[in-house]
Structure 1
Amino acid sequence: MQEPEYVRQRVVIPDLAYVRRALAVAGEDLALEIVMMVGCGLRNGEARAVNVNNLVADDVYRVHEQIHSNTHRPAKLKHRKVGEFREVPLPRSVREAIERYEEKHGTTKEGYLLRGPSGYYTEPMERRRVRALLEKSPVVDGMGMYGFRHYFASNALGSGIPITDVAEWMGHKSIEETYRTYRHLMPGSITKAARVLDAGLWDAA
């Protein structure tokens, strides 16, 4: 007997207006985390580990660790071995946000920007700030912090960036995960394929 296919929970993607309003009411720390998620597609823990030493080029950010939600310390990336990393696009606006934050608040000696009493941006800090953020933001049913990462995928796929690249940048275990989650963001692909294939058939005739 074939097992039923896993049905993913509904993906809630904020629009640009919501992102802008959220950034306007979020505190500086949480705002930087949101910027890293919408601009680079990072997971929450990866965004908390934002580090100036990861700016490896003007338009490239290297992701090689996250702040673990339980230990509140740097840890390896999800679906990656210790020492492995991935590189993601670094939009100019994101780089400028990092530079502004560094200029105003400085970094730890290791280069981390977001920090708390233990030196790192922790899960309890996250929960308090997110709760306050969502209370101040317009109500969107099912919206949470992960929605800002979904915004990155929506922006990339909607702009015609190949799903293979998006899957790599987001650090998914396989492209199947990306496809199942964001297939609905590419409704024109089947229509386009049919048109291209039809043209090829007529040429062959």
Structure 2
Amino acid sequence: MAKQISPQYRLTVYLQAGAGLRISETLAFTPNCVRSDFLRVRRQVSSKAHRDDCKTRFIPLKHRAEGEYRDVPLPTFLSEEIDMHLREWGTVMTAGMDVLFTPRDRGKGAMPTANTYAYHFRKALKAAGIVKPDGSPKYTPHGLRHFFASTALAHGIPIHEVSRWLGHKSIKTTVDVYGHLVPASWDRCRTVMQTALRPGSPTA
């Protein structure tokens, strides 16, 4: 899938799938979001950012006030992808920000937005043959964010941590959407209680 995306936008796939960023947050990504072993997500792109007359291209995160941010773990592979992108493509100054993802060609708009990105994402899926029987794209960009959440939960990462990394307003949102993916803890609970209340006895 990432191979079918325009080379300049390949990193967007990994930021969404590997760090759970929303599309609008991914498109607003700047080098100063990178810390030693985590990403500091600071802003998102306005839905009108592609327009030349847009006065505010970058806006606060969803459910957050101006200046608020959230931190997300940075896996090594993603750090390497970011470094490779910066070496190859650099940044472009837009609205006072050194952004990674912005059209290099004239007439393509000032900034990509969630809507314009989704259009090209659908084209990439079709080019890769990732389609439904009727020929429509099988996934949406938001599916990459779902991949991040479901993979983390399936491997035992606490749901409250995943909720915070996703930037959900309430953990209830995370539980409602992903609660069924949390591994069952029946056997672990039995072992813990047996050990706590009958130490030294067989646990099975």
TM-score after normalising by structure 1: 0.79
Distance 1:131 1:143 in 2: 8
Cα deviation code 1:7-58 (max 9, x no counterpart): xxxxxxxxxxxxxxx112111233211110111110110011111111122x
Count of residue correspondences? 182
Distance 1:125 1:101 in 2: 21
Task: Return the offset for 1:89.
Answer: 0.6
User: Could you tell me which amino acid in structure 2 is paired with residue 120 of structure 1?
Assistant: M
Distance 2:20 2:115 in 1: 22
Q: Tell me what 2:131 maps to.
A: 139
Q: Considering only aligned residues, what root-mean-square deviation do their CA atoms show, in Å?
A: 2.2
User: Could you tell me which amino acid in structure 2 is paired with residue 111 of structure 1?
Assistant: D
User: Could you tell me which amino acid in structure 1 is paired with residue 131 of structure 2?
Assistant: V
Q: Give the 3 Å change call, closer, same or farther, for CA 114–71 of structure 1 in structure 2.
A: closer
Matched, 1:173 2:148: no
Contact residue 30 and residue 129 of structure 1 kept, 8 A: no
TM-score after normalising by structure 2: 0.79
User: Could you tell me which amino acid in structure 1 is paired with residue 38 of structure 2?
Assistant: V
Q: Give the 3 Å change call, closer, same or farther, for CA 89–120 of structure 1 in structure 2.
A: same
User: Could you tell me which amino acid in structure 2 is paired with residue 132 of structure 1?
Assistant: K
Q: Tell me what 1:81 maps to.
A: 65
Please state whether the residue corresponding to 1:161 is helix, strand or coil: coil
Please state whether the residue corresponding to 1:120 is helix, strand or coil: coil
Distance 1:127 1:41 in 2: 16
Contact residue 70 and residue 123 of structure 1 kept, 8 A: no
Q: Which runs of 5+ in 2 are unaligned?
A: 51-56, 200-204
Normalized per residue, the structure richer in helix is 1
Distance 1:171 1:135 in 2: 30
The 5 Å alignment of 1:78-157 reads 78-109=62-93, 110-116=97-103, 117-137=108-128, 138-139=130-131, 143-157=139-153
Q: What's the % identity of the aligned pairs? A: 34
Q: Considering only CA atoms, is the larger Rg found in Structure 1 or Structure 2?
A: 2
Distance 1:173 1:191 in 2: 32
Distance 1:164 1:127 in 2: 29
Distance 1:79 1:60 in 2: 21
Cα deviation code 1:77-105 (max 9, x no counterpart): 00111110001111111111111111111
Cα deviation code 1:154-196 (max 9, x no counterpart): 1211222111111111000011111111112114134533553
